[in-house]
Each structure stands twice: as C-alpha cells, then as structure tokens.
C-alpha cells in the first residue's frame, strides 16, 4: 500500500477502506508518512468529504491511537454531552450534576477557552482547589462516588486527534465536517461514553453560523455514531446572544450554582431563585432539554417529556446542587471558599455600559461579547495564554427588552485599565437598540433535534 495511491483515490472522490485509513493514521503517528502527504489528504477530505462509514472508520482508528479509559461496567451506560462552543455557555456545569442526580453516569472530558468561546476547564479552575485534570483511575473513581466527573484530555487519549488538529489548524481544513465529527467522537468515546448528546450551536457566537451548516454537522455526528454502534442525539441551539447573564470564569460558576441551588438559596447566599430571573430563561431551557436527552439515552425515563419532568424535579428538590457539591469536594475543591465568593468575588475595576437611546434591544452580538471577554482575560487568543478567573461581563438586559436612555445594559469587570478600556469598547458595540421595534425575544433556543433512536 502506498500513500500516493490513497491520496489520489480520495482526491478523485473515492471512499477509503478501514485498511487504508489505518495505514495513513498509523504511518503519520510513527513518522513513516510525512506531514506533507497527510496535509494533502486533509485537503482532499475538505473538498471531497467522507461517507458515514468512512468517518466512522477514521474515528475508530483515532480512538485506537491511544488509551481508552476503563470505567466500571456496572454503571453503564455512560452518557456525555458536548457543545460546539459558545459565549456564556456554562451548560455543562449545571447539566452534569443534574444528569447525575437523575441516575445518569456522566464521564465528561472538557476543553479550555480558545478565541471567543469559553472553556469548561477554565471555569472549573476558578473553583478554589478544584482539580480539573484527573488521572484515569481517579476519574473513574469520582464517577463511582458522585455520579459524574469532569476532566481535561490526557496526553494518552487520542494522540492522533492532537496531531491532526494541529495540522488542520495550519492547512485551513478545520471546518471540514467529517474531520470535526471524528475529532469530537473519538475523544468522547475514548473517555468511556456509550452515548452522547451533542449541542450543535449556530449563530453569530457559534462556530457554525447558519442552521444549514449546523444541521450538516449534526447529521454527520448522528450518522457516524450509528456507524460506530453508539447512540448520538444532536440538538441544534441558537447562539446569537450570550447564554444567561454572566460571561467569565468564576462569574459563570456562580451563575450555575445559582440555578442549581434554587431551593437552597439562603444557604448558598443568593437573594432570589434563578427561575425568577428572565435573563436565565434561555440557559435553563437549553440545559433542561439536553439533560432530558441524556436521561433518555441512559434508560432512566421512557420519553423526552418524562425525562424533562424528572430533570425539573431534581433541579428543584436540591438533588442536583448536592451532586455538584459532592463533586467539588471529590475533586479537591473547597465548597466553603466557593460559596464565600458568591456575589463578592469580582475583578477590582468595573464600568457600566448604558443605553444611548430609548428602544428595544434587538441584538446582543455573542461574538463581540465573547471577544470583549478575551480582551478582559476570560479567554485566549493562543492556547498558551493565561486567563483571569474573576474578570468578565454581567448582562443586565437581554434581547427583546425595552430600555430607556441611560439604562445600564451590562457591567464589565477587569484587572487593568487597558483591559477595561478594550473590553468596554468591544462590549458596547455588541448592543443594537431600535427605537421603533416592538418588544420581542429571539424565540426558543432549541431549533431542531436529530437522532436515530428507535
């Protein structure tokens, strides 16, 4: 078998066999196939695409390139959730303990912020003492103790993805749907997940800008999951304005705890239930919807509607917050120090951005808010950049709300005057106020759902 034959076959629109993909991936890892030939293959895939079976074989080979985490078979099925990335997207922080409280075993391998999108690991790192990177043995043990665990990707998990992603980044092939699919599913299934719920976001603040592009990715994920004999549910959600009210690492942890601690708000230090705050309605809607599908995939409810009712019940009876607290302690965090920071732990420099005219907020550009967060230190321009745990943006209003001139729209938190100035200017550009518009929200956050469940 020769690499040039594989390249020409894919260049001409052919389908590669499992043996050809194995030869290519293993040759890339051991150095027998040079990077320039793999780059040519990536570009051929970008233009020619891959079948579901072909993408499944690629995913399977990527999983085989490294270690897989061995989880207790008695707790199966294991169900995870993954998001394609957004702004203010702290869904995982609420969803994982909520699903665990409903009896789902959740192995969650998360990433860090890059560009305008936030990273779950950076949020977890804002919890005092929390260990956001666990070895496989401890990862499995925490799931056994509290029902879920959250960690970063080990160097030993899917090394082929790490090498291929770096190469995709410099060959303009990141946007290839089959390659995105294989990258996501290889990591999730190597961590021990038996099934997966995908939050495929679309809009200004998302990687996929249009519903059509998001649907194409969703279909690829579901189709490839079926080829691997794994159940995948893909849910398309809007990401035009930030989710919830907070954008920032500790700010988003605090907001997640506010939702989880709804029935225990005096003990947690919150002044009113999250369900009474209209700014959080979109976040709660998306979280409950995704959690419900996890419950269905785990066989803990017969239908999505029944699962949704169970999730609401566990959120309101305090079970989800108790699961969150148990996880914080199991992963080395200080619950006392975490709760002590609620409402008070903020970067020292602040400034409010106010409406310049009367009217209705018709747009809060999630991308601009996300990049304002990067200016402040919430996220990264490069993987090696540090983040600031206590900076960020707090939204006081959402799309569809009527405001008057001088009404505060958001507050910016920063650690330096330069960062404050840059973040404030970018955040101010995110708001569009129309004096002639009627009060109207963006509508439901959930657009569509795709699956092959019987």
Pair 320, 226 in one domain:
yes
**Candidate list 187, 345, 380, 426, residue with the active-site label:** 187
**Candidate list 80, 89, 161, 390, residue with the active-site label:** 161
**Candidate list 112, 168, 314, 398, residue with the active-site label:** 168
pLDDT attached to residue 137: 93
The structural domain count of the chain equals 3
> Which SS3 state, helix, strand or coil, does residue 292 take?
helix
> Which SS3 state, helix, strand or coil, does residue 352 take?
strand
Angle made by CA atoms 356, 358, 360, in degrees to the nearest 5: 105
9 noted as active-site residue: no
10-residue stretch averages of pLDDT, the chain, 454 residues long? 95 97 97 96 97 95 93 95 94 98 95 83 96 93 97 86 90 93 94 95 92 95 94 96 97 95 61 80 96 98 96 93 97 96 96 97 96 93 84 96 96 98 98 88 87 83
161 noted as active-site residue: yes
Q: Is residue 93 within 8 Å of 120, Cβ to Cβ?
A: yes
Of the candidates 329, 286, 340, the residue with the CA atom closest to the CA atom of residue 149: 329
User: Of 301, 321, 339, which residue constitutes the final position of a domain?
Assistant: 339
Q: Range of 297's domain?
A: 73-339
Residues forming a β-bridge with 109:
151
Q: Is residue 12 within 8 Å of 45, Cβ to Cβ?
A: no
pLDDT attached to residue 269: 59
pLDDT attached to residue 306: 98
**And the tokens for 39?**
């780059």
Q: How far apart are the C-alpha atoms of 259 and 304, rounded to whole Å? A: 21
Residue 66 in any domain: the answer is: no
pLDDT attached to residue 166: 87
Q: How far apart are the C-alpha atoms of 179 and 182, rounded to whole Å? A: 5
Pair 213, 191 in one domain:
yes
Pair 108, 232 in one domain:
yes
Of the candidates 231, 207, 180, 213, the residue with the CA atom closest to the CA atom of residue 59: 180
**And the tokens for 158?**
């899917």
Pair 329, 355 in one domain:
no
**Candidate list 183, 186, 220, 319, residue with the active-site label:** 183
Pair 366, 331 in one domain:
no
Pair 94, 145 in one domain:
yes
With residue 63 as reference, give the H or E element that holds it. helix 52-64
Q: For residue 192, give the CATH number of its domain.
A: 3.40.1030.10
Pair 258, 385 in one domain:
no
Q: Phi then psi for 347, rounded to 5 degrees?
A: -60, 150
> Exposure string (b/e) for 380-389, b if CB count within 10 Å is 16 or more?
beeeeeebbb
pLDDT attached to residue 428: 98
Residue 206 in any domain: the answer is: yes
**And the tokens for 361?**
């907020």
Peptide bond into 77 cis (omega under 30): yes
**And the tokens for 450?**
């795709």
Residue 93 in any domain: the answer is: yes
Place of tokens 């599913």: 185
Pair 263, 387 in one domain:
no
Pair 35, 82 in one domain:
no
Other CB atoms within a 10 A radius of the CB of residue 425 amount to 13
Residue 54 in any domain: the answer is: no
Alpha-carbon dihedral 378, 381, 385, 389, rounded to 10 degrees: 0
pLDDT attached to residue 439: 74
12 noted as active-site residue: no
Q: Residue 37 contacts by C-beta under 8 Å, 6 or more apart in sequence?
A: 3, 4, 7
């Amino acid at each position: 078998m020769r690499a040039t034959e594989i390249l020409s076959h894919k260049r001409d629109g052919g389908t590669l066999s499992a043996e050809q993909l194995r030869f290519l991936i293993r040759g890339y890892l051991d150095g027998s196939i040079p990077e320039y030939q793999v780059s040519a293959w990536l570009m051929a895939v970008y233009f020619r695409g891959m079948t579901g079976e072909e993408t499944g074989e690629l995913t399977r080979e990527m999983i085989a390139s490294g270690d897989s985490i061995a989880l207790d078979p008695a707790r199966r099925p294991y169900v995870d959730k993954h998001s394609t990335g957004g702004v203010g997207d702290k869904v995982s922080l609420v969803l994982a303990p909520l699903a665990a409280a409903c009896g789902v075993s959740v192995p969650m391998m998360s990433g860090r912020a890059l560009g305008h999108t936030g990273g779950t690991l950076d949020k977890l790192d804002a919890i005092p003492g929390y260990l956001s990177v666990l070895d496989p043995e401890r990862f499995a043990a925490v799931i056994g103790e509290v029902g879920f665990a959250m960690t970063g990707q080990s160097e030993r998990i899917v090394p082929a993805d790490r090498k291929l992603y770096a190469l995709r980044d410099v060959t303009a092939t990141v946007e290839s749907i089959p390659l995105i699919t294989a990258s996501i599913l290889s990591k999730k299934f190597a961590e021990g997940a038996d099934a997966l719920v995908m939050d495929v976001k679309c809009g200004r603040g998302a990687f996929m800008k249009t519903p059509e592009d998001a649907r194409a990715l969703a279909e690829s994920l579901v189709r490839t999951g079926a080829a691997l004999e794994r159940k995948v549910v893909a849910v398309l959600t809007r990401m035009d304005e930030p989710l919830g009210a907070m954008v920032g690492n500790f700010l988003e942890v605090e907001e997640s705890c506010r939702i989880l601690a709804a029935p225990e708000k005096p003990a947690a230090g919150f002044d009113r239930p999250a369900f009474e705050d209209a700014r959080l309605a979109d976040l709660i809607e998306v979280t409950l919807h995704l959690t419900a599908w996890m419950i269905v995939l785990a066989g803990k409810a017969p239908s999505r509607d029944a699962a949704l009712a169970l999730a609401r019940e566990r959120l309101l009876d305090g079970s989800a917050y108790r699961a969150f607290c148990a996880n914080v302690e199991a992963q080395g965090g200080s619950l006392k120090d975490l709760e002590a920071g609620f409402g008070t732990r903020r970067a020292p420099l602040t400034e409010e951005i106010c409406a310049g005219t009367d009217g209705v907020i018709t747009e809060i550009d999630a991308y601009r808010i996300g990049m304002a967060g990067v200016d402040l230190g919430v996220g990264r321009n490069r993987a090696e950049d540090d983040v600031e745990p206590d900076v960020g943006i707090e939204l006081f209003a959402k799309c569809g709300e009527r405001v008057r001139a001088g009404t505060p729209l958001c507050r910016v938190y920063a650690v330096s005057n330069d960062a404050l100035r840059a973040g404030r200017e970018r955040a101010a550009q995110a708001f569009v106020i129309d004096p002639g518009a009627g009060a109207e929200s963006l509508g439901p956050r959930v657009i569509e759902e795709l699956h092959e469940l019987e």
